[in-house]
Amino acid sequence: MGKNNGNDDSWLTSEDLSQLKALGISESKVREQIALYQNPPARLTIDRPCTLGDGIERIPSEQITRCLREQEKAADQGRFLKFVPASGAASRMFQTLLQGYYDLPALGLKDLGQRAEKGDQPAGEAHRFFESLDRFAFYEDLGKRLAQGGYALEDLRRQGKWQLILETLLFQPGLNYSQLPKGLLKFHLYPQRSRTAFEEHLVEAAETIKDDRGICRLHLTVAPGFEDAFIRLFEEVRHFYGGHGGCRFEVSWSSQNPATDTPAVDLKLRPFREKDGRLHFRPGGHGALLANLNDLNGDLVYLKNIDNVLPDRLKGPTILWKKILGGYLVQVQQEVHTYLERLTAEGNHPDLLKEVREFYFERLKLPGPVPFNQWDLKEQEGFLIRKLNRPIRVCGMVKNEGEPGGGPFWVVDKEGFLTPQIVEMAQVDPHSPEQQALWAAATHFNPVDLVCALRDFQGRPFELQRHVDPEAVFITRKSQEGRALKALELPGLWNGGMSDWMTFFIEVPGSTFSPVKTILDLLKPDHQGDPL
């Protein structure tokens, strides 16, 4: 066995190289990533939060009609696809219930209630869960599974046998909800059938991106081992949902490529090894899905998290603003492509360059170098072509009401330009009171509601990896079999993964954002069947 040390070039063994080859990971990539642990990149420098009129746009009512018209035209042409990261397990949704299952085994419902009154969070969540059990969309499935074992769900509730109920809900051979992807969990009750999060995305897509032939295209990233479960569910429901609006769904699937996994290190920054001596790799976070998005060679792509869905009675604003954002993107792309075509055809004519400069700096309000006006025409032309010929994203932003997660900020990039970026808390220096104060001053929040343009003015797909900030990684503390380690997450899909994209932030109503992060979120009025 070679040296287990990342500080020289001799630590990779022949066995390591064979392991890397099998995973499809290059030796140079692993060395680069180990070096990032040893010399972490500097944190982002926030200049100020993006606010209305300063980085965030509110679309005037008179422009909405045009946005809707442009979106509908592009949708009819079959240009849109919906991309849904759906590989995350639901374990975090049930974290407190799992804690209660293991830590509070002897307590009855009355005891749970008493502990809840004293501020015990696991007891409180378990108590509320059982008090409201029949309001969950999976209630019927849970009762059927218990009946297969000879139990009646309501009898168990009356008897306070909540551990058996939890066991059947969370683990195999029960419903196994704690290990399933969120997309396969039943979220909402309807008269005909309860819907999973995946089914709600089908309905939303049918209302948003169906083309003039009735085709509606979606792509989901799923965890290895669960693709068959998604396919079975899709085959079961495709005609049920398609039949309502003459829609034919075309759904494709992919998993995170093992070649995007990253090596872990121990607390002394040495490559972390399994007990058998093999290097320990971990999934690279949602930033790894940029490769999946790239491989689609898509045109216009909506991107939205799997758990941010609403029942039909509340979908109206979501559908409307999906279309508005898509139409805004189509308009920007048309203008950008027109100017790129003219620049490449007509060259650096002074009048044309003046027109493009005004478009870039005043219409799009994009950043540029201070000495730009002192450059010769060839330099100006090169800069404008380079900056306009990039992927474009339009990002919905909701008012900040204390949700955990990232938000829109003006950030100083490596060239000293101010650029609009979606920033996560982990990217902000925790030891800088000034940076933390700017973070806390954010007025808007990122709900992950994006629509992206992925082809250049000649119709060719962009190589998305060319527009990533490779230093925008996340280093986190984890454990493996009781041993502490540090893990490296790739630049986030909508953070560093899109840092060099042309970016526009648009304010959208808070009514379009209602994620399900814990099981009790499904008890909120937004996710219940009764009218508000």
pLDDT given for residue 327 in this prediction:
98
Dihedral in degrees, nearest 10, Cα atoms 439, 443, 449, 452? -80
| CA dihedral angle for residue 399, residue 428, residue 517, residue 81, rounded to 10 degrees | 70
Give the helix/strand (H/E) hosting 215. Answer: strand 215-221
Q: What per-residue confidence (pLDDT) applies to 161?
A: 86
Q: Which residue from 212, 298, 223, 211 is spatially nearest to 253, judged by alpha carbons?
A: 223
Query: Cβ neighbours of residue 364 under 8 Å, at least 6 residues apart?
Result: 332, 502, 504
Instruction: Judge contact between 105 and 163, C-beta under 8 A.
Output: yes
**Could you give all domains of the chain from N- to C-terminal order, each with its CATH number?**
15-89+192-532 (3.90.550.10), 91-170 (no CATH)
**β-strands 474-480, 483-489: how paired?**
antiparallel
Question: Beta-carbon neighbour count of residue 169 at 10 Å?
Answer: 25
Instruction: Tell me what pLDDT residue 112 has.
Output: 78
CA dihedral 369, 374, 376, 379 (to 10 degrees): -10
The stretches in the chain having pLDDT less than 70 are 1-10, 244, 529-532
- In angstroms, rounded to a whole number, what is the distance separating the alpha carbons of residues 75 and 72? 5
Question: Helix axis angle, 95-103 relative to 121-131, nearest 10°?
Answer: 100
* DSSP state letter for 394: E
Identify the CA nearest to 476 among candidates 200, 249, 287, 226. 287
- The confidence score (pLDDT) of residue 4 equals 43
- Cβ atoms of 81 and 209 within 8 Å: the answer is yes
- The answer to whether 26 and 477 are in contact (CB under 8 A) is no
Give dist(CA 92, CA 233) in Å, integer.
23
The neighbouring-strand residues paired with 323 are none
Bond before 173 cis per omega within 30 degrees: yes
Whose CA is closest to 301, among 219, 414, 383, 239? Answer: 219
DSSP 75-103: HHTT-EEEEEE---BGGGGGHHHHHHHHH
CA distance 143 to 153: 5
- Spatial separation of the C-alpha atoms in residues 496 and 406, rounded to whole Å: 12
Can you list the alpha helix ranges (DSSP code H) found in 258-376?
Answer: 290-295, 315-346, 350-358
- Give tens-digit pLDDT for 176-225: 999 999 999 999 999 988 999 999 999 999 999 999 999 999 999 999 99
Burial level of 200, CB count in 10 A (0-12/13-18/19+)? buried
- The answer to whether residues 490 and 36 touch, using CB atoms and an 8 Å cutoff, is no
pLDDT in the model for residue 3: 40
Task: Tell me the whole-structure pTM to 2 decimals.
Answer: 0.93
CA distances from 221 to 217, 234, 305 (A): 14, 14, 11
Give the pLDDT confidence of 309-334 residue by residue, as tens digits: 999 999 999 999 999 999 999 999 99
**Is residue 370 a contact partner of residue 487, using CB atoms and an 8 Å limit?**
no
